[in-house]
């Protein structure tokens, strides 16, 4: 079964420092991977995705993520954190669409990013 | 452009009362639609998805039901709410593969 793991409940980083939010996945076949951000009492906003191609993908607000097939990871990164980046971040994998099954997004449990000024 | 609307934004309901949350999508046709619940401000649980009018798939057994009376309308319902139904409910639709899902702004349901 497809799954996503976010091993850190919370990540603390000082403003201006680089940040990494970890994600590992388990999926049969080629993965479609996504990162979303959620601000308090709001819906999720798309940040970036990996479908195929370059392992380093760039997304919104200066975020990027590196797809590592051998380590089955898709860590979210940003070179210099901002206080406004503080939010809840979700990694997600889309289940394959074959055999008549409808693809679905399976989410990790989320990682709370706290950026201190 | 495609947009998704979800209402109400907040709702406080007594235990045993009925529930109806509505989600509508504009700017697309025959979308795949999804209801998620986020409990305790963290994990997202897929509740229902629909690939077309009248087609509903349930992911987990529970006190809730879903319906899709029109192509771009997705409704989450309950006949009798439980305390455990409290949470943040999110509707989503699937666009092209490049963006995964687009989410509504959510409904905060508190059952008292």
State what percent of residues in chain A have pLDDT above 70: 94
Question: B23, B100, B101: best mutation site toward chain A, by most A Cβ within 10 Å?
Answer: B100
Res A103 pLDDT > 80:
no
Task: Say if residues A4 and A25 touch (Cβ distance below 8 Å).
Answer: yes
Query: Which chain B residues are closer than 8 Å to A93 by Cβ?
Result: none
Which pLDDT score, from 0 to 100, does residue A96 have? 66
Domains and CATH numbers, chain B: 3-111 (2.60.40.10)
Task: List Cα–Cα distances, B72 to A97, B61, B105, in angstroms.
Answer: 22, 24, 16
How confident is the model at residue A63, as a pLDDT? 97
> What pLDDT, in 10s, does the model give residues B51-108?
899 999 988 767 899 999 999 999 999 999 999 999 999 999 886 656 678 899 999 9
Distance CA A106, CA B88 (A): 17
- Please, which residues bridge with residue A92 across strands? A34, A107
B74-88 residues labelled b (16+ CB within 10 A) or e (exposed): bbbebeebeeebbbb
| More confidently predicted of A47 and A95 | A47
Q: What is the pLDDT of residue A17?
A: 98
- The total domain count for chain A is 1
Q: How close is the nearest chain A Cα to the Cα of B108, in Å?
A: 8
CATH of the domain at A57: 2.60.40.10
**Contact between A43 and B97 using a beta-carbon 8 Å cutoff:** no
Which tens digits make up the pLDDT trace of A61-93? 999 999 999 999 999 999 999 999 999 999 999
């Amino acid at each position: 079964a497809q799954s996503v793991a976010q091993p850190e409940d919370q990540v603390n980083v000082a403003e201006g420092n680089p940040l990494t939010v970890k994600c590992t996945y388990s999926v049969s076949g080629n993965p479609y991977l996504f990162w979303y951000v959620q601000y308090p009492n709001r819906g999720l906003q798309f940040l970036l995705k990996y479908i195929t191609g370059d392992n380093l993908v760039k997304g919104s607000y200066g975020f990027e993520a590196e797809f590592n097939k051998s380590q089955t990871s898709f860590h979210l990164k940003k070179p210099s954190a901002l206080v406004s980046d503080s939010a809840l971040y979700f990694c997600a994998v889309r289940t394959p669409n074959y055999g008549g099954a409808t693809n679905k997004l399976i989410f990790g449990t989320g990682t709370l990013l706290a950026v201190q000024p | 452009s495609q947009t998704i609307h979800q209402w109400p934004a907040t709702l406080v309901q007594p235990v045993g009362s009925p529930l109806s949350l509505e989600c509508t999508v504009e700017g697309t046709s025959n979308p795949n639609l999804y209801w998620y619940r986020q409990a305790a401000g963290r994990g997202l649980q897929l509740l229902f998805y629909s690939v077309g009018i009248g087609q509903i798939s349930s992911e987990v057994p529970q006190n809730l039901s879903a319906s899709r009376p029109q192509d771009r309308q997705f409704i989450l319902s309950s006949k009798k709410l439980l305390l455990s139904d409290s949470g943040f409910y999110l509707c989503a639709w699937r666009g092209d593969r490049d963006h995964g899902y687009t989410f509504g702004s959510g409904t905060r349901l508190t059952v008292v």
